[in-house]
Structure 1
Amino acid sequence: MPRLAANLSMMFTEHAFLDRFGAAAKAGFTGVEYLFPYDFEAHELRERLDQHGLTQVLFNLPPGDWEAGERGLASLPGREGEFREGVERALDYAKALDCPRLHAMAGLLPQGASEATREAHLATYVDNLSHAAEACGRAGRTLLIEPINGRDMPDFLLQRQELAREVIQRVGSPHLRLQFDLYHCQIVQGDLIRTLESQFDVVGHVQLAGVPERHEPDQGEVNFGPVLERLDSLGYDGWVGCEYRPAGDTVDGLGWARAHGVVAK
């Protein structure tokens, strides 16, 4: 049975962010993830985790100027210094929160990018990930990369599972693994179970959401029951992040999760 982690950037938004920890615990979650911790002091987040008996599962490296539309720095030529500073900042938070996994968003290509521009971004991506994976390894953390669909995030460099595997192989670090998001994979290429099987040896974290609306996993075109059963049979012992936007009240939509051990307190 997978261990489900609530994504506090998307779930329990009926509450202020720091109050979402308690709401998630009350709903029966024991792990949490979210996009970014940097609007808060690490000790504030640590206090919430400890108060509610929660495990911090994952968060992202600084993404650049999110409000201006940036979606990661890892592949952006000329921003290497800023990316490396972000790695160190994220590792400081990871230490304080005892968080084992950090996700490095690849970033966006310029609109209409040429093949030469794409290759330059890819080369920067591999170099930056090599640096970050080494830093994460020294700190006892795992770095993750995630293919994200181009409908939700146009021009995102990393969209397909095959490219993620190629990048991981090029970096060649045991500290770099794949964040396999079932929602994004279904939109980009489908064939979830076979794709999961082919990628399983590099999977470090899994996320899910209903397709296409990104609501609860029991809504939409995917029957996630067999997918999660296959994940179990493959021997996955990590977390599955619930990175979805509830269609209504978060707790009211958690009926699907009860079969997976999320029991309200």
Structure 2
Amino acid sequence: MPQENSRRDMIKKVATVALSTSAFTSLSNRVSAHEKTVDEKLKGKINHSVCAWCYNMPLNDLCKAAKEIGLTSIDLVDPKDFNILQKHGMMTAMVSSNGPEWGITKGFNNVAHHDKLEEYFRHYIDETAKAGFSNLICFSGNRNGLSDEQGIANCTKGLQRIIGYAEKKKVNLVMELLNSKVNHPDYQCDHTAWGVELCKSVGSPNFKLLYDIYHMQIMEGDIIRNIRDHQQYIAHYHTGGVPGRHEIDDTQELYYPAIMKAIYDTGFTGHVAQEFVPAHPNPIASLKQAIGICDIA
């Protein structure tokens, strides 16, 4: 019996050491990944960008930090700030059109807005083309009682008023897919299938979708299959941790390396932009970590 107890004690000690070692290694890896500076050259399979609004810092400072990591783009920059990008040798892979009058809730699904939206977007198309950028964001607007079919019909009418001008200027109008469950109640372009049907209805290679992985995980999941099935209608991607829209590390439910591989395997050559709101006290460390996660070999 004493010998058996001794054996059991030894097993317990070994298990405790193994567990402690495993926990320490896991913690060390997480800390190392979080604090890691992306010193090595980015691998080149994914073109990385980052959304300006997520970082509570001047655009000048974000440009400097992003450039040090190896990024060449800052997303959702308004034309009035293009000079800041140019000063740092940066570009924007997605131009913001979210001005004081128009935004997410008021968009192309309301025919009463079409006249003003045409004038507004012609200006933004001109500014985007003048700077040599390609993608300009747009939104469906909230449903406000519209059926999905009527929303597509209304958006098509409005977008077809300006899409020829966008084609002439070599600018893509890109409608963002957003969730209506948590962040944007009543927003109409809230499912991939709806966005794809709108692309087909507009019928122009210069109208595509911004596939926001965070938003679509909340609304429908099935991220990789939807990317594979509908890649021809997607011009751009955004990231974000689910739930909470924070870091895309092991605190959330999506496995981004597999998603990035799926995006790369479709032949996508556009940009993937980080659009999470950092919870870590050092937001640039979080950005470095996210780029490292998405920079697949």
Q: TM-score, normalised by structure 1?
A: 0.85
* Equivalent of residue 94 in structure 1, options 128, 138, 141: 128
Change (3 A) 1:20 1:96: farther
Q: Which has the higher helix share?
A: 2
* Contact map agreement 2:210 2:234 (CA 8 A) in 1: yes
Question: What SS class does the counterpart of residue 164 from structure 1 fall into?
Answer: helix
User: Take 2:203 and 2:104, find their aligned partners in 1: how far apart are those partners?
Assistant: 27
5 Å-filtered alignment, 1:109-124, equals 109-110=143-144, 113=145, 115=147, 119-124=149-154
1:76 to partner: Cα distance: 1.7
5 Å-filtered alignment, 1:159-198, equals 159-198=190-229
* Contact map agreement 2:111 2:154 (CA 8 A) in 1: yes
Question: What SS class does the counterpart of residue 194 from structure 1 fall into?
Answer: helix
Q: TM-score, normalised by structure 2?
A: 0.77
1:158 to partner: Cα distance: 0.9
User: Take 1:64 and 1:123, find their aligned partners in 2: how far apart are those partners?
Assistant: 26
1:202 to partner: Cα distance: 1.4
Structure 1, unaligned runs of 5 or more? none
User: Take 2:101 and 2:242, find their aligned partners in 1: how far apart are those partners?
Assistant: 28
Q: Deviations over 1:8-49 (max 9, x none)?
A: 1113x1x22344322322343211112x516xx3xxx33322
Provide the residue aligned with 2:48 in structure 1: 4
Structure 2, unaligned runs of 5 or more? 1-44
Change (3 A) 1:70 1:196: closer
Q: Deviations over 1:55-109 (max 9, x none)?
A: 221123345636xx85342112211111111111211320243220011111112
* Contact map agreement 1:62 1:72 (CA 8 A) in 2: no
Matched, 1:105 2:136: no
Aligned length: 248
Q: Which runs of 4+ in 1 moved over 6 A?
A: none
Matched, 1:30 2:72: yes
Same amino acid, percent of matched pairs: 21
User: Take 2:104 and 2:269, find their aligned partners in 1: how far apart are those partners?
Assistant: 33
Change (3 A) 1:63 1:158: farther
* Equivalent of residue 54 in structure 1, options 90, 99, 106: 90
Higher RCO (CA < 8 A, seq sep 6+): 1
Query: Over aligned residues, Cα RMSD in angstroms?
Result: 2.2
Change (3 A) 1:142 1:233: same
* Contact map agreement 2:129 2:171 (CA 8 A) in 1: no
Larger Rg: 2
Provide the residue aligned with 2:20 in structure 1: none
